Amino acid sequence: MLKNGADEIVYPERQLATWTAIRYSADHIFDYIELDDEHAIYEVQVPEDWVGKTVGELDVRKKYSLNIMALKEDGILNLAITPETGITANQTMLVLGTIKQVQKVFHI
């Protein structure tokens, strides 16, 4: 196909198998989007020891090299994340980082 001018070959079964394996390998992973071979966005449950703290107190970017992109509660995304944004137990978070680092921090 590449010889016939295709820029990329898509294998939907392989992509779905990878997504399914990651999504259902742990109860605290709700979604997963692979951006490239090294980076992904995960929707994860907030770790218990992060509840009640602010994004600034957690300092996730400095400590873990991860970015909190959004917090989700009752299906509503909050994209306006600031250091003063509080974390609650009934939220999930969308985090961006290297796959290895996300797996390490969230025990995937």
Q: What angle do CA 87, 22, 12 make, to 5 degrees?
A: 125
Confidence band for 99, pLDDT divided at 50, 70 and 90: confident
Would 53 be classed as within a structural domain? yes
Q: How many domains does the chain have?
A: 1
Contact 41, 94 (CB under 8 A): yes
Condensed to tens digits (0 to 9), the pLDDT of residues 46-96 reads 999 999 999 999 999 999 999 999 999 999 999 999 999 999 999 999 999
Residue 3 resides in a domain: no
Provide long-range contacts, Cβ within 8 A and 24+ apart, for 71-77: 72/43
Higher pLDDT, 20 or 49: 49
Q: Does 7 fall in a domain?
A: no
Q: Name the average pLDDT for the chain.
A: 84
In this predicted structure, what is the pLDDT of residue 17?
64
What residues make up the domain containing 59?
Answer: 12-105
**84: CATH:** 3.30.70.1450
